[in-house]
Structure 1
Amino acid sequence: MTEMIRLDGVTKRYPGQAAPAVDGLTLSVRAGEIVVLLGPSGCGKTTTLRLINRLIEPTEGRIFLDGEDVTRVDPDQLRRRIGYVIQQVGLFPHMTIAGNIGLIPRTLGWEKKRVRARVDELLDLVGLDPGTFRGRYPKELSGGQQQRVGVARALAADPPAMLMDEPFGAIDPITRERLQDAFLELQARIGKTIVLVTHDLTEALKLGDRIAMLGEHARLVQYDTPAAILAEPADEFVASFVGSGAAMRRLRLVEVGSIELVPVEAVGAVSTSVRADQSLYEALDAMLRAGDEGAVVLDEDGRPAGAVSWSTIVRETPRAAESPHAEPSADPSVEPSLTKAPNGESGRR
């Protein structure tokens, strides 16, 4: 896969500070993937993000966008090639929503008709009705709606890459989960290269194709898929960040249809059914809530494709790291309903 963003030995030192904010970071981001920068507060995640679009200049090292050294590109031109979404959204309060989204296209000299068409296209893309929202002002929108507009604005000039700094951090949990789901649906359609900053493990597992675990001074501790990081943390720092419940988190990353199913007859008379594209975690949760020891698995046409059982899921847990990354759908903590098996024994092994 083509490399879109590369940081090569990047260091950032601020005057008067003994230790660098970013210390020799080397990182490669492939075209079309979401890479999450994950780590504790103050570890240099946001500084790294701002180095990519030259809001901050590196002290040492080189940064490339689609093979081009960004230090040789005019900063304004560079930022038109990289969308930027921040937690506070940063919409201009005196501009309408159309004015905010159309700002960069107007700066690029687009004709009014083309700008208007692009604004309406993007509003529709992020799930906001153009006729309703085009003429409104930011203060008339909810936090979630403002964040959608922020994403639309970042996409206005159709940049190949996007940087997102805690984009869902200032939103209530229910709205945050909905926006994360909408964001993944949007990414499936547009396929941008995205570097996203968060300190939230749940968000990183849900959104990231790969996760870059950063320690102090943005030192790269581990760079791998969510499932691999859960299964094999590189050191105690990563293990402590992941915390307990890793096995249950891994079940969220495996689709039911990706494992070997058993015949429907093998699970007997059960009332539970799940879709093949649901996670093993969701299947297990549904089975336990119904008191069943198995579930019928339905294909995309709603027909039985086989079945999954409690014992099947238990066997798959150690192998979850080998499976493709699927989207988790909720908080990764272990709910009370998942702590006991149907026979009353502890569900934890």
Structure 2
Amino acid sequence: MTGAMIRLDRVSKHYPGQQAPAVAELSLDIAAGEIVVLLGPSGCGKTTTLRLINRLIEPTSGRVLLDGEDVTRADPDQLRRRIGYVIQQVGLFPHLTVADNIGLIPRTLGWDKRRVRERVDTLLDLVGLEPATFRRRYPKELSGGQQQRVGVARALAADPPVMLMDEPFGAIDPITRERLQDEFLDLQAKIRKTIVLVTHDVTEAVKLGDRIALFGEQARIAQYDTPAAILAAPADDFVASFIGSGAAIRGLRLLPVGSLPLDPVEVLTGDHDAGAVGADSADGPERALLVGADGTPRRWLRPAGRPGLAVVGADQSRYDALDAMLRARDDTALVVDAAGAPLGTVSWSAIARESPGEPS
């Protein structure tokens, strides 16, 4: 092995009665602690590949290695306890409470009741659900986003090193989906699992993946690289066509706004108005900001007449900065640190000037 947690070595899956294989000679290495997204059109073999990893289906030929072990020689039940599995429709058992759904695998492993209960509560906290509120609820009493959180908690119950996720956010409304994606990335920063995630959504793949494997027909890899590399340099016409227009805009999600040079801002507290600080004056920074006693940004004092205040964290993306500007109807965003203290400003033109363009 060369540091790969998962290795697919010339894996094929050929179903009886079908002329072409669903997966043909697929070789793929997935490093420990990475999120690898399987991306591609419907029917290209993404979900089949996922199921080959945990032996929900058996390969016709080739090998699937998990941390160096050939999974085709492993006990299927033991194997699946080492692999968490999250699907689009969650698959919670409706007659079991949230606690019983999450504790299902630990109980089958012989954990005692106290250990199971502690693990359930730890995981509910981890996925942002208050244990005292949710442990006794049934799936029908949860929203779609809450059910998805429980599904993730259940997949993590036995602390598996690998998680497989099949369109995990596909059945959720766009606002909830984006929030769950953000929470998922925060969670991964804490747990550092090896995750293989299936999606057909390019934006989701770019946001979530450390690397993207873009499949053509029969799970043939058209390109396997970082999101930034795929957006900047598509390997061929198929990749460019699948990524589509707007690659430069998508690429802004990968670039932190704090990496840009920031313009200075004058920070004032107390009772001020635009006239008192020299509205539109040539003296000092172009922008003057009023902050509250706690240092929280309130409004622009200079230039006068700005309709809103766009605020973005230094660790947020340049895409987020542009979005904040549009919402505030301004061409400049205030950049703040983790505590909310002003660091400076960034302009629309600076983002356009300093960011990569559309690949040629």
TM, length-normalised to structure 1:
0.86
* Contact in 1 for aligned 2:248/2:357 (Cα 8 Å): no
C-alpha displacement of 1:76: 0.6
Q: 2:349 aligns with which of 311, 321, 326?
A: 311
Paired residue for 1:269? 287
Residue 31 in 1 paired to residue 29 in 2? no
C-alpha displacement of 1:299: 3.0
Given residue 193 of structure 1, which amino acid in structure 2 is its aligned partner? Answer: T
Distance 2:262 2:349 in 1: 11
Paired residue for 2:320? 282
Deviations 1:182-220 (A, max 9, x none): 211111111111000011112111111111100100001
* Contact in 2 for aligned 1:96/1:137 (Cα 8 Å): yes
Once the two structures are aligned, what percentage of the paired residues are identical? 76
Distance 1:177 1:307 in 2: 26
Distance 1:177 1:17 in 2: 38
Residue 173 in 1 paired to residue 174 in 2? yes
Residue 44 in 1 paired to residue 45 in 2? yes
Q: 1:289 to 1:197 in 2, by over 3 A?
A: closer
| SS at structure 2 position matched to 1:274 | strand
* Runs of 5+ consecutive residues of structure 1 not aligned to the other structure: 322-348
Q: 1:282 to 1:91 in 2, by over 3 A?
A: closer
Q: 1:313 to 1:56 in 2, by over 3 A?
A: same
Paired residue for 1:329? none
* Contact in 1 for aligned 2:246/2:358 (Cα 8 Å): no
| SS at structure 2 position matched to 1:135 | coil
Given residue 174 of structure 2, which amino acid in structure 1 is its aligned partner? Answer: P
Q: 1:304 to 1:40 in 2, by over 3 A?
A: same
Q: 1:44 to 1:76 in 2, by over 3 A?
A: same
Mapping of residues 123-162 of structure 1, within 5 Å: 123-162=124-163
C-alpha displacement of 1:32: 1.0
Q: 1:297 to 1:124 in 2, by over 3 A?
A: closer
Distance 2:143 2:332 in 1: 42
C-alpha displacement of 1:275: 2.3
Given residue 156 of structure 2, which amino acid in structure 1 is its aligned partner? Answer: L
Q: 1:267 to 1:73 in 2, by over 3 A?
A: farther
* Runs of 5+ consecutive residues of structure 2 not aligned to the other structure: 267-283, 289-299, 301-309
**Which sits farther off after the overlay, 57-66 or 129-138?**
129-138
Paired residue for 2:336? 298
Mapping of residues 1-349 of structure 1, within 5 Å: 2-264=3-265, 268-269=286-287, 271=300, 272-288=310-326, 290=328, 292-318=330-356
| SS at structure 1 position matched to 2:287 | coil
Paired residue for 1:340? none
Deviations 1:215-242 (A, max 9, x none): 1000010111112111111111111111
Given residue 256 of structure 2, which amino acid in structure 1 is its aligned partner? Answer: E
CA RMSD, aligned part only? 2.3
* Contact in 2 for aligned 1:37/1:196 (Cα 8 Å): yes
**Which sits farther off after the overlay, 257-266 or 53-62?**
257-266
Given residue 158 of structure 2, which amino acid in structure 1 is its aligned partner? Answer: A
Paired residue for 2:272? none
Q: Which has the larger radius of gyration?
A: 2
TM, length-normalised to structure 2:
0.83
Distance 1:236 1:11 in 2: 25
Distance 1:181 1:286 in 2: 17
| SS at structure 1 position matched to 2:177 | helix
Q: 1:289 to 1:54 in 2, by over 3 A?
A: closer
